[in-house]
Structure 1
Amino acid sequence: MVRQIRTQQAIQDLTSSLGESVSLRTSSRSGRRWLAALAVPVLLAGLLAVPAQAGPPTPVAMTLTSANPVDNTPHAKDGDAKAFAEIGSTVYVGGGFTSVKAAGAASWTTRNYLFAYDKGTGALKTAFAPRLDGAVHALAVSPDGKLIVGGAFKTVNGVERRNLVQLDPNTGATITSWVGRSDGGLVRRTVVSGDKLYIAGAFTWVNGTAHSLLARLDVRTGAIDPTFQIDASVARTSQQLVWGLDVTPDGNTLVAVGNFTKVNGLDRNQVVLVEGLKGTPKVADWSTQRYVAPCTISGFPFYARDVDFSDDGSYFVIAADGGRSAGAYCDTIARFETATRGRAIDGTWVNDTGHDSVTSIEAADNVVYVGGHFRWLNNANGDDSAGAGAINRYGLGALDPINGMPLVWNPTRSGAPAGTTAWGPIVWELWRGSAGLYAGFDSDGLGNEYHGRMGLFPLAGGRTVPATNAPAAASGYLYLGTGDGKTAKVPFNGTALGTPATSSQPNLTAAGAAFSIGDRLYWSRTNAAAPQGSYLQVSTFTGGTVGAPWVSSGFNDWYKPSTMSGAFYLDGRMYYTKAGTNKLFYRYLEPDGSIIGCTEFTLPSTGTGLNWANVRGMAWVNGKLVYGFTDGALRAVPFDGTAVDGAAAVVIATSRTPIGSSTRSALLLSPRGAPPLKWTSPTLFFATS
């Protein structure tokens, strides 16, 4: 609970002062925005229900940065780093610090709240020396290469300029012709989209006109845009504000999170979607109840802390803190689909930390990066402790966007030397720049190294995680376990079976349910030494041969795969049945690290033609679920990941059909010249070789 107390205190400091306050998102953050900047000339108790939808997201290739931060980023001595921006070869850093130094330098240089450095060398840009009297929370770059700064300041370069200013990127001089300013409170976020600048924070006036928490300006002049009339208001408790903000790459949709309950008079608790930005902006017919109930820690006035759209704008992700609460997305990361409309919308997936804060989020390169004061991910079964399924992730993590499962990326917030701050309550900023992922925080350890308040995880040295799924071919082979180390290999074209052949598989012993993912075979293996009596094993599967197995992951020791009477994988989910239970279950499964999801879900079923309790072995083949049954028959039913209509099931083969029988129909294909197989083994999988 120490973590919650410290984070709670940080929130209380924010709401009492709005000066050196908690800030979660600032910069023009994602890869899509840094690319725009380079074009300048100078320049988510337990996991909660998954909603009905067209189907789960499909796997995508993911590009991960290195988990080893570069060594040449400067250090800030105190405060925190809250915002990043790039113009050409210069990196700008804003926050609540007062002293900085280049990596390896002996002495500190006074720089209050904003400094610049060379991206290649890490050397401080001494000519850039603006003077601000309060913290910087937001940085953005205008199309003509100027630096836009938002925050909690009253003067810039000795002249009154409240909370919003445009600076010369070389000297830090104020661009006096740029007229944008907030007349009070705080500018928490700035987002440039085309020729528009969106700002969010804790203000009620912008450029002398009434705008509550949200406003839109002409990015080149700073003039207010009167066509944007979207006002958020009415705090849950304490100070009303918009805390996180993003705009889709096409410039037409905005998402905001923070301490509000009304937007243009409509009920929108902590989260709002605004559409029609290129025409007449309006509050979208989108709302969720998952951020309405209070969390268990009363000192958090709100808990939706940060939000970011994916690079293509098709979904957005929300980071939250606050403790735990039944039915609410406290201490979680959650994905929502941008195009979905309606009320009481649930997340596509939710990743629960088990009572730890998530304070920053960045969706880039098909990866969802998260930062905060958490210790585990995939931890819905834990309560301020590691529950079944918990994956160690110390303050930083990377998630697969299709199911929210942790990837193998674990730099940790650690390595601060003696005399420095080892573990601050919050990661304030994750931002994808041109060279990788920048992190801003309030401590001095990153990747087991000293990094004062900031660091960069480079793209160089990272890796690409390929998009892997069940075999997509329309035809191939069904492998059916027929004995210890033995299978029948049966040609299958999606409708009819060919002549089976015996396939010796000496590595496939004590096997239970099995399924293919790419060139890997996952299978249950009984083992008395396993904590639960069986392991989920992994083998290579190439050329029709099962390779030597290894245990999928030590993080899966809590799971008992031998209970599965059949299993298959599709789109980030491991579907399975249990003998005697008339349900089709699934858990998330992440091939990168072979991690099993901590929460069990049930897929809806309709019709009366399929009793899951009697299923033995399953495989997904070209849009169909092919499955064995206790009567020895092989059947198929259409499958799309949303629901299964048992009435649509058809028989492919039956062990009771006599070979060569004149009554054999096209659906009862026991191949001539071979005895009929009994499709009753849980070891059943589909492969292309």
Structure 2
Amino acid sequence: MPSARVGEARYARCHPPWRRSVPELPIRRRAAGRLRIWAGAVALTTVAALVVMPPASAAAVVPAPESATLVSANPANSTPHARDGETRAFAQIGDLVYVGGSFTQIRQTATSAWTVRRYLFAYDRTTGTISTTFLPVLDGAVNTLVAGPNGTLIVGGAFKNVNGVSRKNLVALDPSTGEIVDSWVGRSDGGNVRDLALHGNQLYVAGAFNWLNGTAHAGLARLNASTGAIDPTFTVDATTGRHDTSSYVWTIDVSPDGGTLVVGGNFLYLDGLPRNQIGLVDLTGTPSVIDWSTEKYVPPCAAPETFVHYVQDVKFGGDGSWFVVGSNGGAGWPAAYCDALIRFETAARGSGQLATWADFTGNDTITSVEVADNVIYLGGHFRWLNNPNRSDNAGPGAIDRLGIAAVTPATGLPVNWNPRRSGGSSLPSGASSWGSAVPVLWRGSDGLYFGHNSDGMGEEYHGRLGMFPLAGGRTITPKNAPTETTGNLYLSIGAATLAKVPFDSANLGTPTTVSQPNYVGAGATWRVADRIYWSRAVAGTPTGSRIDISLFNGGAIGASWEASGYNDWFNAAAMTGAFYLDGRLYYTRTGANALYYRYFEIDGNYLGATEFALPTTGVTWSAVRGMAWVGGRIVYGATDGTLRSVPFDPTAAPAVDGTAATVIAPAAPGLSWSTPSTFFSVQ
């Protein structure tokens, strides 16, 4: 049969040797109050390239933060260890966890003797004890595992023989003994299997093959999961490799409803239609390529001879309405989505699709992604996230995340979870502290399993694999601006003094004066849940100001603390008004006539490194002084002392139409709405 087999050397090219070197590691953590001193204060207006949101015929997607459950940042102590190569796949059947990869030896503990066990083994997830009855013998690496129907373990990889019998690249095993299930007929005689995805009794197969079960299929096929028989109705091929190489599919995932397949890899066409590295397939009827494409994976990034393709992993999130893509590629962003985590919307249609959000590492690889419990986990050899402004260094906004991270689906910003891919001083002799890849992150029944090509995680020894347990994790409860339409507007009227003005979203009541001794040196202020965030003048900081937090429930404003030391590059004092809504900090700033936003993650109080300008008309934003969001409207003051409101819809273009603005109140003696220190609170 013809073959377009891509061997281990080809797959290795996606993790090139020059990127496997140990980078200069960042500092371990940055506590609030610790400052990075840049060469001079970084002005708000010059930190990052401004991104202007273009007008759109369809509504923009503005995901709202949702409740999420994080796994513990402390890896389980009971998992066994592997040696050499890497762990690439996990599956679970009952209490047994199956581990596949290119490793050659395993052991129970850090002091146990090594045992030769190549490419595949199992252990009890409750005790960590390695199985002595599951003993398959393979002659090549395992790339992917699936717990199949009828008590089978389906294995895909780069092998020719299993238990001394010819079973090329695809086989079903008895999960108790590792014996071949002879009745299962799936074979990949034409090349390696890279990925498997199961939905119901439909098994999707991806890899570097041109033939499956003796039938011509290029890179993609669908089997009956119970029997291994080919599904003749699935005929979507991935063809024509980039840069004159052989084509292959590297990664796939199926939406939870089984209706959509996302495909990533080294190809230019899906079913004959142009789809460079990535595409979507409709599975609801006869499988067909969806009218969805993006040009952001067309450019070659750093070096096409090294990064033949740079889509590394794909995963649907939540209900399948969105998916994420992790990539490598080196330099080339933002023209291309190189070295980035990207969110796309599944229902979008047409060419030229752009990210809902993008999180750039600053020239470091992402090799795996997993989505579970409203959290996106990612692994690789990155050192930072939120780092679009530097290459191979930490730029303004960069957040230290060494090789493993968790981000929110709403914005792509990290949450406060940072175990670090490091063994610290606990590594035994001969162990590797750092490697080029985390090939797999996988959510099992009891936690997040990780496979990597090094031996340290969470400052502990975890040779080639481990697990972050659900036990000991925590729930993230989203915080937002007040949703009520009746409350109080607060306005600074002097040092440590606020006017408290009743407000029902249309009319003002009689103001009272409130002394707030902790509210000194205040600028733009915004309310979120039980606290206020505010720009505070602080001598000795890089910009002379910072974002602080104070607890506030209508009484005394509490003593403030720095929101995050990662935000010290940001000139908070330049904001002339601000409010928070659904993961975004909206603001105006000195000398600029636009309404801007940055992503802002409340869980870690991290500020996005990229500034966006919303499309608006009819409002002179350069004159705005103080803002609040109340009941779907922006309530804002101005240099003329007048208080106005205008409807606000961040999904629309324009998001603000100034012709719909109304005057709430003109300036009055002792109460001029012309200060950035304005916010709305129910209390």
What TM-score, normalized by structure 1, do the two folds share? 0.90
1:679 to 673, 678, 681: 673
The 2-side partners of 1:533 and 1:285 are apart by: 50
Q: Distance in 1 between matches of 2:650 and 2:299?
A: 30
Q: Specify the alignment match of 1:129 in structure 2.
A: 135
Tell me which amino acid in the other structure corresponds to 1:644: V
C-alpha distance in structure 2 between counterparts of 1:48 and 1:181, whole Å: 49
Cα separation, 2, equivalents of 1:378 and 1:505:
35
Residues 488-545 of structure 1, C-alpha deviation per residue, up to 9 Å, x if partnerless? 1111111111221112211111100000111121000112221111011111112343
Structure 2 distance, partners of 1:394, 1:49, is 31
CA contact (8 A) 1:523 1:538 kept: yes
Q: Which moved more, 1:331-340 or 1:54-63?
A: 54-63
Which deviates more from structure 2 when the two are superposed, residues 165-174 or residues 290-299? 290-299
Q: 2:605 aligns with which of 594, 601, 623?
A: 594
Alpha-carbon contact 1:19-1:135 (below 8 Å) kept: no
Indicate conservation of the 8 Å contact 1:15/1:21, yes or no: no
The equivalences for 1:555-574 within 5 A come to: 555-574=566-585
Between the aligned partners of 2:345 and 2:388, the Cα distance in structure 1 is 22
- Tell me the amino acid that sits aligned with residue 627 of structure 2: M
Specify which of 355, 366, 370 is matched with residue 362 of structure 1: 370
| Distance in structure 2 (CA, Å) of the matches to 1:47 and 1:139 | 44
Q: Which residue of 1 aligns with 2:472?
A: 461
CA distance in 2, matches of 1:448, 1:22: 27
| 2:333 is the counterpart of 1:333 | no
Does 2:356 correspond to 1:345?
A: no
Contact 2:536–2:548 under 8 Å retained in 1:
yes
C-alpha deviation, 1:144, in angstroms: 2.1
CA 1:527–1:391 in 2, change beyond 3 Å: closer, same or farther?
A: same
In the alignment, what sits opposite 1:252? 259
Partner of 1:612: 621
The secondary structure found in structure 1 opposite 2:566 is helix
Aligned-residue offset at 1:644:
1.3
TM-superposition CA deviations, 1:64-100 (whole Å, max 9, x none): 1111101110100111100000011000000001111
1:271 corresponds, among 268, 275, 278, to 278
Aligned residues: 636
Name the residue aligned to 1:650.
662
Query: Deviation string for 1:381-421 (max 9, x for gaps)?
Result: 11100111111111111111101111111111111444211
Amino acid at match of 1:297: A
Residue 410, structure 1, aligned to residue 418, structure 2: yes
Unaligned residue ranges in structure 2 (runs of 5+) = 17-47
Cα distance in 1, alignment partners of residues 230 and 312 from structure 2 = 26
Deviation at 1:145, TM superposition (A): 2.3
Tell me the residue number matched to 1:661. Answer: none
The AA in structure 2 aligned to 1:120 is T
Q: Which sits farther off after the overlay, 510-519 or 14-23?
A: 14-23
CA distance in 1 between partners of 2:99 and 2:254 (Å): 22
Residue equivalent to 2:28:
none
Shift of 1:355: 0.7
Contact 1:388–1:598 (8 Å) recurs in 2: yes
Deviation at 1:55, TM superposition (A): 3.9
The one-character-per-residue Cα deviations of 1:233-252 (angstroms, maximum 9, x if unpaired) are 11112231111110011000
Which of 321, 325, 330 is matched with 1:323 structurally? 330
Paired residue type of 1:239: S
- Tell me the distance in 2 between the aligned counterparts of 1:650 and 1:131: 76
User: For 1:547-558, what aligned pairs fall within 5 Å after superposition?
Assistant: 547-558=558-569
Q: Secondary structure at the match of 2:320?
A: coil
Counterpart Cα distance in 1 of 2:571 and 2:348: 36
Structure 2 vs 1, CA of residues 171 and 46 (structure 1 numbering), >3 Å: closer, same or farther?
farther
- Do 1:23 and 1:137's aligned partners in 2 also have CA atoms closer than 8 Å? no
Q: What amino acid is the match of 1:257?
A: G
Distance 2:111 2:197 in 1: 34
Q: CA deviation at 1:117?
A: 0.2
Matches within 5 A, 1:89-488: 89-104=95-110, 106-237=112-243, 238-275=245-282, 277-298=283-304, 299-326=306-333, 327-415=335-423, 416-488=427-499
Percent of aligned pairs with the same amino acid? 56
- Contact residue 66 and residue 457 of structure 1 kept, 8 A: yes
- How far apart in 2 are the matches of 1:18 and 1:581? 50
Cα deviation, residue 47, structure 1: 9.0
The reply to whether residue 518 of structure 1 matches residue 539 of structure 2 is no
C-alpha displacement of 1:184: 2.0
Structure 2 contact 63–410 (Cα < 8 Å) conserved: yes
Q: Contact 1:55–1:640 at 8 Å: present in 2 too?
A: no
Is the 8 Å Cα contact of residues 202 and 241 (structure 1) preserved in structure 2? yes
The question of whether the paired residues in 1 share the 8 Å contact of 2:328 and 2:367 is answered with yes
Question: Partner of 2:9 in structure 1?
Answer: 17
CA contact (8 A) 2:14 2:308 kept: no
The offset of 1:18, in angstroms, is 5.1
Q: Tell me, in whole angstroms, the C-alpha distance in 2 between the residues paired with 1:216 and 1:55.
A: 32
Change in Cα spacing, 1:69 to 1:132, as seen in structure 2 (3 Å) is same
Distance between the aligned counterparts of 2:568 and 2:166, measured in 1?
61
Query: Which one of the candidate residues 572, 584, 592 is aligned to 1:581?
Result: 592
- Structure 1 counterpart of 2:640, one-letter code: D
Is 1:491 matched up with 2:502? yes
Distance 1:147 1:278 in 2: 26
Distance verdict in 2 for CA 1:244–1:175, change over 3 Å: same
Task: Look up the equivalent residue of 1:344 and give its one-letter code.
Answer: G
- Alignment partners' CA distance in 1, 2:70 and 2:49: 28
* In 1: Cα distance, 2:419 partner to 2:52 partner: 31
Looking at structure 2, the residues matched to 331 and 22 of structure 1 have their Cα atoms a distance apart, in angstroms, of 12
**Residues of 2 paired with 1:376 and 1:644: CA distance?**
35
Counterpart of 1:685, as a letter, is F
SS at match of 1:420: coil
Q: Deviations over 1:346-368 (max 9, x none)?
A: 00000011111111111111111
1:18–1:186 contact (8 Å) kept in structure 2: no
Shift of 1:187: 0.7
Aligned equivalent of 2:634: 625
**Letter paired with 1:339:** A
Q: Is the 8 A contact 2:155 2:171 kept in 1?
A: yes
CA RMSD of aligned residues (A): 1.8
Which sections of structure 1, spanning at least 5 residues, go unmatched?
1-12, 25-44, 657-674
Is the contact between residue 633 and residue 648 of structure 2 (CA under 8 Å) also seen in structure 1?
yes
Determine helix, strand or coil for the equivalent of 2:138.
Answer: coil
Asked whether the 8 Å contact 2:52–2:614 carries over to 1, the reply is no
After superposition, the Cα gap between the structure-2 partners of 1:533 and 1:79, relative to the gap in structure 1 and judged at 3 Å, is same
Contact 2:193 2:208 in 1 (8 A): yes
In the other structure, the counterpart of 1:38 is: none
CA deviation map 1:186-226 (0-9, x unaligned): 11111110110001011111111111101111110111111
Q: Contact conserved, 2:7 with 2:158, CA < 8 A, in 1?
A: no
How far, CA to CA, are the matches of 2:11 and 2:159 in structure 1? 8
Assess, with a 3 A threshold, how the Cα gap between structure 1 residues 103 and 88 changes in structure 2: closer, same or farther.
Answer: same
Structure 2: distance between partners of 1:54 and 1:305: 27
- Residue 48 of structure 1 deviates from its aligned partner by 6.6
CA drift at 1:677: 2.3
Residue 17 of structure 1 aligns to a residue whose secondary structure is helix
Cα distance in 2 for residues equivalent to 1:269 and 1:563: 42
What secondary structure sits across from 1:588 in the alignment? strand
TM-aligned CA deviation for residue 50 of structure 1: 6.0
